[in-house]
Amino acid sequence: MQLTKDRVFADIALLPISYKTADVDRLIRAYVRQKADPTALRPFLLSYPELHRIYFYVALKQIPSAEGRMAFIHENLLFNDWWHTDQLIGFVSKLDFQTALEYGANYTKDPDPFIRRWGYVLFISPLGRGRGKELLPLMRNDDHYSVQMAQGWLTAELAVSEPELVYDWLVRCDLKYNITGKAVQKILDSFRISKEWKERFRALRPMLREKGREAIS
């Protein structure tokens, strides 16, 4: 079955008036059971955000390998907000790390901020666990808020299993405080980092704030 924009919107119209993600996911499961082809939706993704989840999920759930799913995402970097990048993490969590790192390193240098964000959130899964030595060098100063949040989020995830590595990196790095400060806040918000380490990271804030000012000047 070929999915068209009109067909999908007709199906969405049958959902409850204030439909939720769970309602859309039921629709997606029905399309997957029918082996639907969402290709015809691609030209409309940036204009109609409600098609985005359907397009990606229907396609990705029918691709058996992590490598194939990553290739599909790479060919369809049609993002216009951070939800659209964050929702894809689980589809590639079993990708070979070196393959993912090659993709991610290129994404973090892309002109599009939502593709840069994807280059970081790609590793917020078992894929990035214990890989701080390879991933922290991807961090760079970025003026886009969504990218800064992704950098802070990934830094906090790395701190769960490698707090000493992340701590030492924060002491040495020359990033602006709107990145390092977000990283510390994410660490303090985490339920998976010990109180002792949280206090050590909290104590870094004055130094990071001062370094951040120097990075701007």
CA distance 40 to 37: 8
| pLDDT confidence bin for 211, thresholds 50/70/90 | confident
Radius of gyration over alpha carbons of the chain, in Å?
Answer: 19
Closest CA to 115 of 81, 92, 157, 145: 81
pLDDT, tens digit, 9 for 90 and up, residues 107-152: 999 999 999 999 999 999 999 999 999 999 999 999 999 999 999 9
Angle subtended at Cα 84 by Cα 83 and Cα 89, rounded to the nearest 5 degrees: 90
Closest CA to 132 of 97, 93, 82: 97
Distances (CA, A) of 70 to 28, 59, 67, 97: 19, 12, 5, 12
Distances (CA, A) of 178 to 4, 90, 114: 42, 27, 18
pLDDT at 217: 42
pLDDT, tens digit, 9 for 90 and up, residues 3-29: 999 999 999 999 999 999 999 999 999
